[in-house]
Chain A
Amino acid sequence: MNPAPTAIKLSAPGGVLVRWNDGHEATYSYAYLRQRCPCATCRDSPPTVKVTPDPFPIHGKDVIKVTGAAPVGHYAIQFNFNDSHATGIYSYAYLREICPCDRCRAKSDS
Chain B
Amino acid sequence: MGIFGNAGDLSEAHILAALQTVKDPDLERDVVSLGFVKDLKIAAGKVSFSLELTTPACSVKDQLKAEAERAVGSLPGVQRVDVRMTFRVTTTQTPQARTLIPEVRNTIAVASGKGGVGKSTVAANLAVALMRFGAKVGLMDADVYGPSIPILMGASEAPQVTQNRILPPVAQGVKMISMGYFLPRNEAVIWRGPMLHKMIQQFLGEVEWGELDYLVIDLPPGTGDIQLSLCQTIPLTGAVIVSTPQDLALEVASKAIAMFKKLNTPILGVVENMSYYVCSHCGERDEIFGHGGARRASAQLGYPFLGEIPLNPAIRTSSDSGHPAALGENTPDSKAFLEIASAVAAQISIANFNAPQTPVIEG
Residues on A facing B (Cβ under 8 Å): 1-2, 4-11, 21, 68-77, 89, 92
Contact = CB atoms under 8 A, between A and B. Distances in A.
Interface stretch (B146-154, B206-214, B228-236): B228-236
Contacts, number: 63
Contact of A10 (B232, B263, B356, B361): B361
B283 interface: no
Majority SS of interface residues in chain B? Answer: loop
27 contacts: A1-B264, A1-B356, A4-B264, A4-B356, A4-B359, A5-B359, A6-B356, A7-B362, A8-B360, A8-B361, A8-B362, A21-B356, A68-B363, A69-B361, A70-B361, A71-B97, A71-B98, A71-B358, A73-B235, A74-B264, A74-B265, A75-B262, A75-B263, A75-B264, A75-B265, A77-B359, A89-B232
Interface of B: 97-98, 231-236, 262-265, 355-363
Contact of B263 (A8, A68, A69, A74): A74
B265 A10 contact: no
A91 B30 CA distance: 36
Contact of A7 (B231, B233, B265, B359): B359
A64 B195 CA distance: 31
A74 B236 contact: yes
Nearest to B230: A73
Given A72-B232, A73-B236, 11 more contacts: A4-B264, A5-B359, A6-B357, A8-B360, A8-B362, A69-B361, A71-B235, A75-B231, A75-B262, A75-B265, A89-B232
B226 to A, nearest CB: 14
Q: Which of A73, A74, A89 has the most CB of B within 10 A?
A: A74
B231 A8 contact: no
Contacts of B235: 71, 73-74
A87 to B, nearest CB: 12
Q: Which of B98, B263, B264, B357 has the most CB of A within 10 A?
A: B264
A92 B232 contact: no
B231 A73 contact: yes
Nearest to A68: B363
Nearest to B266: A74
Contacts of A4: 264, 356, 359
B356 A73 contact: no
A7 B359 CA distance: 5
Q: Which of B231, B232, B359 has the most CB of A within 10 A?
A: B359
Nearest to B228: A73
A68 B98 CA distance: 12
Nearest to B94: A71
Contacts of B233: 73
Contact of B234 (A2, A68, A70, A73): A73
